[in-house]
Amino acid sequence: MSDAALEEFALRMGDNCLILGQRVSAWCGYAPALEEDIAMANVALDLIGQAKLWLALAGALEGKGRDADALAFLRDARAFRNCLLVEQPNGDYGQTLMRQFLFDAWHVPMLEGLAASREERVAAIAAKTAKEAAYHRDRSADLVIRLGDGGEESRRRMQTALDLLWPFAGELLAADETEARLAGEGVIPDLADIAKKWTAFVEPALEEATLVPPKDAPVRKGGKQGLHTEALGYVLAEMQWLQRAYPGATW
């Protein structure tokens, strides 16, 4: 197995968690109810903890002495490997929940598959974090169903969020060359299998939520190769400015 492919994959896992964690953390102090505020802060915290594990592995594989902090705070947008879905703006609360739901529905089967990886460092992180992802998915699916199958206004907002975000989900579900190679080596699961599990979870939940995915939507991708939407630059500007302005600053 090539270390470069594994490093690339660890960056993708870590950057997905980091960017989504940074996005979700922006609700801290602003969520529509106290319980939701606490939930958002906890989900963000879990994701940033998970990002730290993956990015530490990526840094170790790279072997140039970069730790998780260096990778998080000192890379530019083109070096980030997260999917486009997680960098999309928070929008209203419905949009934030829909983004979380589409991501969690992928994250859980992916981590469960990775827990059986032949690469033991990958398996260890996946086994540790899969339970946390499952806890997130229980909540995001529950809220998507309640708000979709809720009042007229909440249903309208959830459908708008689904129309907006659906095209970004495909990137998580299709393997590129790196992932196909790692799957062939037994390091990561086959993404076609993950896509089936994703669909088996998402379809009935959306049906219960009375929401309809857009037909013939294009797949918007590129994040895994470092080609991001405009949105990522704003996330990084906010997340990285302190370390950029005051290099090496600590608490």
Partner 1 sequence: MAEAPTKPSVGDIWRWLEDAPDPEIPVLSVVDLGIVRAVEWRGETLIVTVTPTYSACPATSVIALDVEAMLRRRGIADVKIETRLVPPWTTDWISEKGREKLRAYGIAPPEGAVCAGAAKAAGARIACPRCGSTNTEEISRFGSTPCKASWRCKDCLEPFDYFKSF
Residue numbers at the binding site for partner 1 (CB under 8 A): 35-36, 38-39, 41-43, 45-50, 52-53, 112, 120, 123-125, 127-129, 131-132, 134-135, 138-139
User: Is the CB of 6 or the CB of 39 nearer to partner 1?
Assistant: 39
Least distance in angstroms from the C-beta of 215 to partner 1: 33
Least distance in angstroms from the C-beta of 206 to partner 1: 20
| Tokens representing residue 26 in the block | 């922006």
Least distance in angstroms from the C-beta of 49 to partner 1: 2
Least distance in angstroms from the C-beta of 232 to partner 1: 22
| Whole-angstrom distance, CA of residue 52 vs CA of residue 18 | 8
User: Is the CB of 35 or the CB of 230 nearer to partner 1?
Assistant: 35
Least distance in angstroms from the C-beta of 64 to partner 1: 22
Continuous H helices in 115-151: 120-148
Secondary structure of 7-28 in HEC code, one letter for each residue? HHHHHHHHHHHHHHHHHHHCCC
User: Is the CB of 50 or the CB of 82 nearer to partner 1?
Assistant: 50
Whether the Cβ atoms of residue 186 and residue 115 lie closer than 8 Å to each other: no
Residues 6+ apart with CB under 8 A from 163: 214
Least distance in angstroms from the C-beta of 85 to partner 1: 21
User: Is the CB of 43 or the CB of 232 nearer to partner 1?
Assistant: 43
| Whole-angstrom distance, CA of residue 133 vs CA of residue 122 | 16
User: Is the CB of 84 or the CB of 145 nearer to partner 1?
Assistant: 145
User: Is the CB of 41 or the CB of 77 nearer to partner 1?
Assistant: 41
Give me the residue label for tokens 């007229």: 152
Residues 6+ apart with CB under 8 A from 19: 80, 82, 86, 87, 232, 235
User: Among residues 148, 179, 222, which one has the least CA distance to residue 6?
Assistant: 179
